Chain A
């Protein structure tokens, strides 16, 4: 069983490494990630969001939903910790 798992890991790793051959070079200005929305964010930040920091405008304005999801994830983690760990007096007596 352990041998089969090792084979599976090797095959998956080989596929992942094979897929990196198709990836654009590191920092390539013509890669799809750099020509799709990045120029819009950089050029129109002041005009559209009036925020001098492009990072802030992406995090809280263009991707505001995303940040709200992150906050909700943290909140959910806290609630789950409370549900799992908190004990009451009545629980211990049973």
Chain B
């Protein structure tokens, strides 16, 4: 169990650093289309920012913002987003994960529909990676004690 670390320097630096880290993670996910990056990398950076918050503050503080239940829901939500986009393509009478057909339900061209489909997939990957990283870290750091025992 990680106890409270009352160090003003560490807490202030982390409070200043965490928003740019999360912004950079979102940039890596959103710009993974045209530059190096993508869901896995961006999700890892996003998860690392939460882990930094746990280390600098308290595990209870972090859990108030991101509880274990939310984490589990988010990790499955990412996989659902990914496979859901594939199923939507299947329903619109194309191959599984053939994003071009999405222009039937979105007011965009085929090229933009493909870009949006890949972006949605990357967002799903990012959500899953972030939630799983935070969940594994919280489980290891707290010895698996969650829920009603904490309050």
Contact = CB atoms under 8 A, between A and B. Distances in A.
A71 B124 contact: yes
A86 B124 contact: no
A86 B34 contact: no
A81 B76 contact: no
Given A56-B32, A71-B82, A78-B75, A61 B128 contact: no
Interface stretch (B5-13, B50-58, B141-149): B141-149
B121 A64 contact: yes
B78 A75 contact: yes
Contacts of A70: 40, 125
A11 interface: no
**Contact residues of B: prevailing secondary structure:** helix
Interface string A50-74: 1111011001110011011011101
A87 interface: yes
12 contacts: A51-B33, A51-B118, A52-B34, A55-B36, A60-B121, A70-B125, A71-B82, A75-B78, A78-B75, A82-B139, A85-B139, A89-B149
Binding site secondary structure of chain A: helix
B118 A75 contact: no
A71 B135 contact: no
Interface of A: 49-53, 55-56, 59-61, 64-65, 67-68, 70-72, 74-75, 77-79, 81-82, 85-89
B33 to A, nearest CB: 6
B77 to A, nearest CB: 10
B132 A88 contact: no
Given A51-B115, A74-B132, 11 more contacts: A51-B114, A53-B35, A56-B33, A61-B118, A68-B79, A78-B131, A79-B75, A82-B139, A85-B143, A86-B146, A88-B149
B139 A86 contact: yes
A39 B39 CA distance: 26
Contacts of A51: 33, 114-115, 118
